[in-house]
């Protein structure tokens, strides 16, 4: 692991970037981040590389080295459009696979191969083949939080932001929707299409509970509570707004509640708080252990070595790519 020093030159070069995160990163911590921020940004230009960062990445990554940020759908769209020769995915492995599917001739890096996802690991391509045999003729809609193996058995992918639009675009009465059972329940309430679901869950969002929400409301009388549809149904019923990652962010930016509680991965609250100074964030901290395996030193090492690379078998990639491209062809949902 490369060890770098905090010099006067590094301090000057990174000072504007620290201004972006000063509300969420204490000044005493910045000297530990700044040398890596400076070197990553220098090396990106040398390598013709970009960093794509998910909303759950820590602020020093999200605001200081990422070229493109967003939820899974935004990153997928950006991966399809980039001219960079090297893509570093600061997120989890399925996101890096999606970037590789859309950029088969480019170098796609994931700084830690162990950055997984409880949803992605909850189902396999073999599971889908069994579901197809049990429910013949039903199209398969897979959450983008799935492996390339699963996407290869899928008709069309979706994200939490466009799931309803994707389901209704198929023009059928019944679909197989997987793997998140809570997102499936949320979609089922928004459409007349019958949903055949799977029992996958996000280990971050399933830990929230109505009792926790009640405790926060007792402590903060005026708090506005918003939640991701990966949360359990009883949590969704107890909050003021349910929406995708992008929709939650837009809610805060547009409505600017005096105080907000975001029921999602806690780095996302930090990243939004860095941008919306007039809103007070109450932070329940459910960390994604997989997202947090991505760090500045690992991003730097990945750029230096151009490893670990994401590779997908050609036959699997060809079929999986179709399901992602079909998702991207469907219009953006209303926010």
Domains of the chain: 8-116+291-305 (3.40.50.10800), 120-202 (3.40.50.10800), 205-282 (3.40.50.10800)
State whether residue 170 is helix, strand or coil: coil
Considering the chain, what percentage of its residues have pLDDT values greater than 70?
A: 98
* pLDDT value at residue 2: 64
- Mean pLDDT, to the nearest integer, of 135-139? 97
Would you state the pLDDT for residue 335?
38
CA dihedral for 114, 120, 124, 125, sign (positive or negative):
negative
Q: Residue 193: pLDDT above 80?
A: yes
pLDDT in tens, 291-322: 999 999 999 999 999 999 999 999 999 999 99
What is the gyration radius of the CA atoms in the chain, in angstroms? 20
Higher pLDDT, 223 or 266: 223
| pLDDT value, residue 1 | 58
CA distance 248 to 233: 17
Note whether 309 and 103 are within 8 A (CB).
no
8 Å CB contact between 162 and 243: no
Residue 56's CB is within 10 A of a number of other CB atoms, namely 26
Question: What digits encode the pLDDT tens for the residues 97-131?
Answer: 999 999 999 999 999 999 999 999 999 999 999 99
Joined tokens for residue 194: 């019958």
Give the SS3 label for residue 307: coil
Query: Taking 80 as the threshold, does the pLDDT of residue 140 lie above it?
Result: yes
What b/e sequence results for 260-296 when a residue is b if at least 16 CB atoms lie within 10 Å of its CB, and e otherwise? Answer: bbbbbbbbbbbbbbbebeebebeebebebebbebbbb
- Helices 72-81 and 245-255: crossing angle in degrees, nearest 10, is 100
Distance CA 208, CA 5 (A): 40
pLDDT at 333 over 50: no
pLDDT of residue 331: 58
């Amino acid at each position: 692991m490369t060890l770098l020093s905090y010099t006067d030159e590094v301090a000057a070069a990174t000072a504007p970037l620290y201004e972006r995160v000063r509300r969420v990163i204490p000044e005493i911590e910045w000297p530990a981040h700044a040398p890596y921020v400076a070197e990553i940004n220098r090396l990106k230009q040398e390598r013709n590389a970009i960093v794509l960062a998910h909303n759950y990445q820590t602020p020093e990554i999200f605001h200081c080295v990422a070229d493109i940020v967003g939820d899974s759908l935004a990153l997928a769209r950006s991966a399809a459009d980039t001219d960079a020769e090297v893509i570093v995915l600061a997120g989890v492995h399925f996101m890096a696979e999606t970037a590789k599917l859309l950029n088969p001739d480019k170098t796609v890096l994931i700084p830690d191969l162990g950055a997984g996802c409880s949803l992605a690991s909850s189902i396999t391509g073999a599971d889908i083949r069994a579901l197809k045999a049990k429910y013949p003729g039903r199209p398969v809609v897979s959450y983008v939080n799935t492996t390339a193996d699963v996407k290869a058995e899928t008709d069309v992918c979706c994200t939490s932001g466009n799931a309803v639009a994707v389901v209704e675009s198929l023009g059928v009465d019944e679909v197989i929707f997987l793997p998140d059972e809570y997102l499936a329940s949320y979609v089922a309430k928004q459409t007349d299409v019958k949903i055949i679901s799977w029992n996958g869950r996000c280990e971050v969002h399933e830990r929230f509970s109505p009792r926790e929400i009640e405790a926060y409301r007792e402590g903060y009388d005026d708090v506005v509570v918003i939640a991701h549809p990966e949360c359990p149904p009883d949590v969704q019923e107890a909050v003021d707004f349910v929406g995708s990652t992008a929709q939650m962010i837009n809610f805060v930016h547009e409505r600017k509640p005096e105080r907000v509680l975001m029921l999602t991965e806690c780095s996302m609250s930090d990243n939004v708080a860095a941008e919306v100074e007039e809103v007070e964030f109450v932070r329940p901290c459910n960390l994604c252990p997989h997202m947090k395996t991505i760090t500045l030193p690992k991003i730097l090492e990945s750029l230096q070595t151009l490893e670990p690379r994401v590779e997908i078998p050609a036959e699997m990639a060809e079929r999986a790519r179709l399901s992602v491209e079909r998702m991207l062809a469907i219009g953006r949902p209303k926010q």
